[in-house]
Structure 1
């Protein structure tokens, strides 16, 4: 296939503005996927009209119609074997299914088949053979999962606009389908469901079902995965307190005292980049990818950045936003605007293809590796959860906190606040009580001052009366 043919699907998406979403959940991704499928279907139907006009101009007595994701040839033909000639004309209108997908490539195939059928009709040589009886499609051997995986990317991006985000989503679907299935198995619903049921861990089974669902949708494999669509209960997390976050960043420097002397000189200072990354995750509650996908380093270091915001690029999971910090003092304390660390960031991402999901994944995995290496008891994403909880404790409105983290209020309340541990709840309650006690103290102090004020007024009036008495 020529490059032009390969790009025609992405050219068809050129005028599509994806729905802006602050919901990074599966629901948010599904809505965008639906929008793209509907957009591509509209494009196919537009092209179908043009094809039918060409067929009509050529006086070909065949038209093409779309039905349930397939293209059919419609023509008046001799009565099919076994069919009844109710009108006694010897002819009847039929829709012929030739197993042609309703996409841009399928349109080209369907048009060629329509001209071929038209010639047979014009010459009165049409016969009902296996092809037109749809027996050839039945005879075709089913493909294996491995064979379909080889064309998964090509077929998937016929219905999805290619972006950094969609590349990452596809990589998620591909890698999990590949991991949990046997490439030698035939790509049937039974075999795919069996692959899911062999998975012991609930979360792995749920994620595999999501990926296999996308795989089946791409290749029009009828399958019912509703049994596996319920999200499992989340495992417990270790959400760090502010004190533990402060202690954690010191572990990067402690690493210097414990690492061996045989250190590659090219990477001996690399720990500083990962310490900086740790600090950014803690201060802004970012997703790790939001640091590495097209970071606006100039803005971060700019004197005009008075609010100290981090600009998240539009290619990230939930689009562009400016993230505000919590605990601004940590920016100075962690030295997060030191140009040296930003140069290290620029160097790290320059070695990767920033549009390649696998390269970005390698960087985010490196963050997790460093957390384990220096002995932290929590994971990178736990810093994001800690940010959400800290915002709640500080009394920041849920909508503001959710927008700052780049997700919906629903995701914020359902996902993040469930990690409100007993210690966090105690802290929140104690802070609320302390605030209440402070208010009571202020009220009592105001009442005391009012009483003293009234007392002073009485004393002044008394002195005025005494002075008046003396002078009278």
Structure 2
């Protein structure tokens, strides 16, 4: 990633507090991106006003205006060769488009061009040439996708505040655009759409379209990707039951017992870290990276942490939160507060730069690798889905469950609840029926107890009367 330094674009974002979002969806990310684009446009317009004041003070007969993301020079010039002199003055006001982007770098270029044009006007030496007719911009060849990818990061962060989260988002866009396109193709809408159409898997096509959309927006490539904007419905997941999750933790130790003797001494106990990771994902429903980005290990092991919460760092996808556990007993059963495992976590992340999305992604991919290695038939994210379903079965309010997972109620209901399998529905309904039956049994027992109580009272009253009769 580019060193931030004192980049003027990031300085312009210094007073921006991105809208908070507990929505990790594309919609939530788009809201934040739109806010940042509008913020940067406001900054550019403020600077534009200062530039025009300088031009006015210098008595330069040229101003600069913004139009559709580009900067134009406005001046009164001799009539174009192709225009008619309707007023008979020989002069007319024109807006000159020189293909200058409306950003902070573009303002510097536009100001220089304005002074240059002002000199030509003052000396009466202005002539209509390809530059001022706009022919140079028309003649300009399209760049290849590869050439634009080289500029992607620099241009992207001219309209986005650089944070750990935005770095991660950019890496998502960059890596998928690079993966699914041909770098030698010209960066035209036709070629980019063709790249998407060649993708077989619907989810890969959807993710590629999201990334290419951001790529095109950055370079102002007109493209219509609305056809791919709806997330596919045909994805399948294998959501583990609680019994399967408990059985899964044992597979890590089975791996240790069954592996060969040719194991590097430096990593022979590394399986314990990934077993710990598996347990934490199961108990808290975390995203894997929420264990690796600046984990508050001291808090997790602290005696003050009586609620046994895991603190998710603010640099994670949907900001900071404290996640509460489901099945607290698993924390003890899986030995998740063992300092030895936390030391291993510290060592693992110490080798990584938490601001580098590629390195964090490598850790999360390692989690998936271990799932496959020990023979689990579900994936790390399936544990997150299992947490959401378990919360539903236990009757936890949707808002509380959504907040605990770090996303919106909309995402919770639309994304997670659709993985409610037939077995899960049976379990939920049976539990509800059993719960109702338990209530009915309690009611019946209460009625019997009241009747027994009345009978005993009658017996007591009868004994009292007999005692009084004998005494009399």
Per the normalisation by structure 2, the TM-score is 0.98
CA distance in 1, matches of 2:407, 2:234: 18
Query: SS of 2:155's equivalent?
Result: helix
Using the TM superposition, give the Cα deviation of residue 80 of structure 1 relative to its aligned residue in structure 2, in angstroms. 1.1
Counterpart residue number, 2:264: 264
CA distance in 1, matches of 2:226, 2:104: 31
Using the TM superposition, give the Cα deviation of residue 5 of structure 1 relative to its aligned residue in structure 2, in angstroms. 8.5
Counterpart residue number, 1:391: 391
CA distance in 2, matches of 1:228, 1:312: 32
CA distance in 2, matches of 1:256, 1:204: 35
Counterpart residue number, 2:136: 136
Give 1:193-208 correspondences, 5 Å limit. 193-208=193-208
Counterpart residue number, 2:302: 302
Counterpart residue number, 2:218: 218
Deviations 1:86-108 (A, max 9, x none): 22211111110000000000000
After TM superposition, which residue ranges in structure 1, 4 or more long, deviate above 6 angstroms? Answer: 2-6
Using the TM superposition, give the Cα deviation of residue 174 of structure 1 relative to its aligned residue in structure 2, in angstroms. 0.8
Using the TM superposition, give the Cα deviation of residue 6 of structure 1 relative to its aligned residue in structure 2, in angstroms. 6.6
Could you tell which deviates more after superposition, 228-237 or 140-149? 228-237
Could you tell which deviates more after superposition, 448-457 or 105-114? 448-457
1:313 corresponds to 2:313: yes
Counterpart residue number, 1:367: 367
Using the TM superposition, give the Cα deviation of residue 4 of structure 1 relative to its aligned residue in structure 2, in angstroms. 8.6
Deviations 1:117-155 (A, max 9, x none): 011111111111110000011111111111111111111
CA distance in 2, matches of 1:117, 1:249: 73
Deviations 1:423-442 (A, max 9, x none): 11111111111111111111
Using the TM superposition, give the Cα deviation of residue 444 of structure 1 relative to its aligned residue in structure 2, in angstroms. 0.7
Query: SS of 1:74's equivalent?
Result: strand
Using the TM superposition, give the Cα deviation of residue 456 of structure 1 relative to its aligned residue in structure 2, in angstroms. 1.2
CA distance in 2, matches of 1:84, 1:119: 25
Deviations 1:251-289 (A, max 9, x none): 000001221110000000000000000000000000001
Query: SS of 1:131's equivalent?
Result: helix
CA distance in 2, matches of 1:241, 1:327: 13
CA distance in 1, matches of 2:298, 2:380: 25
CA distance in 2, matches of 1:352, 1:4: 19
Asked whether the 8 Å contact 2:293–2:315 carries over to 1, the reply is yes
Query: SS of 1:132's equivalent?
Result: helix
Counterpart residue number, 1:422: 422
Counterpart residue number, 2:66: 66
Relative distance call for 1:4 and 1:275 in structure 2 (3 A) is closer
1:30 corresponds to 2:27: no
Query: SS of 1:267's equivalent?
Result: coil
CA distance in 1, matches of 2:439, 2:209: 53
Using the TM superposition, give the Cα deviation of residue 234 of structure 1 relative to its aligned residue in structure 2, in angstroms. 3.6
Counterpart residue number, 2:124: 124
In structure 2, list runs of 5 or more residues that go unmatched.
none
Asked whether the 8 Å contact 2:98–2:131 carries over to 1, the reply is yes
Counterpart residue number, 2:451: 451
Deviations 1:230-255 (A, max 9, x none): 21114221100000000000000000
Asked whether the 8 Å contact 2:284–2:323 carries over to 1, the reply is yes
CA distance in 1, matches of 2:182, 2:303: 55
CA distance in 1, matches of 2:208, 2:465: 91
Deviations 1:300-325 (A, max 9, x none): 01111010000000110100000000
Counterpart residue number, 2:277: 277
How many residue pairs align between the two structures?
A: 471
1:48 corresponds to 2:48: yes
Deviations 1:376-396 (A, max 9, x none): 010000000000000000000
CA distance in 2, matches of 1:153, 1:6: 16
In structure 1, list runs of 5 or more residues that go unmatched.
none
Asked whether the 8 Å contact 2:203–2:235 carries over to 1, the reply is no
Query: SS of 1:66's equivalent?
Result: strand
CA distance in 2, matches of 1:258, 1:383: 25
Counterpart residue number, 2:82: 82
Deviations 1:31-81 (A, max 9, x none): 000011001101101111110111111111111000000000011111111
Give 1:340-419 correspondences, 5 Å limit. 340-419=340-419
CA distance in 2, matches of 1:123, 1:273: 75
